[in-house]
Chains A and B, each alone.
Chain A
Amino acid sequence: MSTSPTSSSPAANGPDVFVVGSDLIKFGRFPDQTPAKLGAAAAKLALEDAGIGIKDIQAVYSGNVMNAAAMVGQQILRELGQTGVPVSNTSNACATGATAMREAYTAIKAGMYDLVLVVGSEQLGKAGLMMAGGRGGISPEGVLGSGLMPAVFGEAGQEHAAKYGTTLEQFAKVSVKNHEHSMKNPKAMYQKETPLEMVLDSEMIAYPNTKLMCSVNVDGAAAVVLASPKKARELGMKRAVKVSASILTSDRYSERNLTMPDFNTCTRDAAKLAYETAGIGPEDLDLIELHDCFAVAEILHYENLGLCKEGDAGRMIDEKETYWGGKIPVNLSGGLLSKGHPTGATGVANIVEIVQHLRGEAGARQCEGAKVGLTHVLGIAFGSACAVHVLEKVNA
């Protein structure tokens, strides 16, 4: 028997952790910038949002994938002030930003610091198709099937289709929704209405994923400032948001996961732990930002996160339950499909989006009366990582 990580729930010990500052830069393509300059721009906005300066920050947690060995966190301090504080550089595939967030959360929980900075950054440009790398010999791509992400997620989507008869149209509707949402997000890569015919008629990349059902590779950065209760009270609780769960899981053994990445199990494990830790259930959530790296993935995660019964995700999108104003809005930011997916920044940007709604500062796309939100990201390389955060309005 493989051990379930859900058998040992993380202790609810330690002080509460609050987001006291958060922001992101507009996602896009910035070939003249560096990852650190993008990260620093987001960090500056988050510090200003918190009403503090870099001298107040006791530790920095930086997430970046493509420049994992370049000490992007230290470079960010060169932009904002070299204060000499500890800097941790994190890389965990597409879960990188959320992993940095969790490291920072852990440090506050441990009582080590009162005020820390989390920055996720990435400069992808038009990176094209993503795949896990090969080793020696000849490339197995196109001979031994496909290691390209559109196919890997296409296969995962087909599992849902095989089990429940989910249609190409239902998968495609996710992209229609997320593009519609980002029309109201000025910081998204795209603000463009994208009807179902356009999604279905766009180039087929790997069935059932058409081009518009694949996330957009963009440059971007996002940052949050985390505080202990003491520091949060000092800075003012009015706009503070409580982090009521910060969970990270990896891929435990499952039947096919060495051939076919199993991101369902690690998501289910993380969701279960997150709900337990926060003392809530999926029915208590007002909004969700989840990892729609491909349109098919969002369908699977409705069930993985317990938003509906098994096999019911197709109906959920058909009945627009996850639209703005629906039963449980998902990816009001536009998601990875339309806001864009700057890998290292994504897990922090999701936090920023939820914080904006809980503060009532999300503008035209505001989720009215939002009190509790959840973020979910997923990383895949030669293994999987899933991070789930639950955020709560304080002055609710």
Chain B
Amino acid sequence: MTEQATLKPIKPFLKIPVGSEPYIEGLRCESCQAVFFETHLACPKCTTHDSLKPSKLSNTGKLHVYSIVHRSMPGIPVPYVSAIVDLDGGGTLKSNLINVDPDPKKIEFGMAVEIVFNVAAQKDKEGNEYLAYQFQPRS
């Protein structure tokens, strides 16, 4: 196994293709176009059976809302910005918003953001590293 092969996605919907950029793969309902991140037997929105199909999602989006976490579980560095982002073209994701001051005066609702892929500091019990998706203001 090469070192790169041990880099796991933090969530199954984060795809790490060999030789190209990572991306987020959602599931889009063929019937109503709603976007999800986990498989379901039927579409949670329109109830059509077997209608969710893999769909590569956009790397950009808009900040819907956020909270700034100052007290977390033991060992997790604070503060960090927890952000809800509506991806362009469909799908809503939550992750850390990085490369901003953790100050409500410095963060604008609706601001344009993009996904960046970073290796998480934490490793699992087997020593595997994980690739995470995070947001930053769009340059």
Contacts and interface: CB of A to CB of B under 8 A. Distances in A.
Interface of A: 1-3, 129, 131, 137-146, 148, 150-152, 154-156, 158-159, 161-162, 203-209, 253, 255-256, 258-260
A138 B70 contact: no
Given A151-B82, A258-B36, A259-B94, A146 B69 contact: yes
B70 A142 contact: no
Contact of B65 (A129, A155, A258): A155
Contacts of A138: 10, 120, 122-124, 130
Interface string B97-139: 0000000100001100000000011111000001011100000
Contact of A142 (B72, B94, B123): B72
B66 A155 contact: yes
B9 to A, nearest CB: 9
A203 B78 CA distance: 13
A309 to B, nearest CB: 22
Contacts of B92: 255-256, 258-260
15 contacts: A2-B45, A129-B72, A129-B73, A139-B76, A142-B76, A142-B96, A145-B96, A154-B67, A155-B84, A162-B65, A207-B67, A209-B67, A253-B44, A258-B44, A259-B84
Interface string B56-87: 00000000111111111100111011111010
B95 A145 contact: yes
Contacts of A150: 67, 69, 71
A140 B65 contact: no
Contacts of B78: 142
B34 interface: yes
B66 to A, nearest CB: 6
B119 to A, nearest CB: 10
Contacts of A162: 64-65, 109-110
B93 interface: yes
Most buried by A among B11, B69, B93: B69
Contact of B122 (A139, A152, A204): A139
Nearest to B68: A207
Interface in B25-73: 32, 34, 36-38, 44-47, 64-73
Nearest to B73: A141
A205 B68 CA distance: 8
B84 A143 contact: no
B8 interface: yes
Given A142-B72, A206-B69, 19 more contacts: A137-B8, A140-B11, A141-B72, A141-B76, A142-B76, A142-B78, A143-B120, A144-B11, A144-B95, A144-B132, A146-B82, A148-B69, A155-B65, A158-B65, A158-B67, A207-B67, A207-B104, A258-B44, A260-B94
B77 A256 contact: no
A138 to B, nearest CB: 5
A158 B107 CA distance: 12
Contact of A144 (B110, B123, B133): B133
Contacts of B38: 258
A158 B45 CA distance: 25
Contacts of B44: 253, 258
Contacts of A140: 10-11, 132
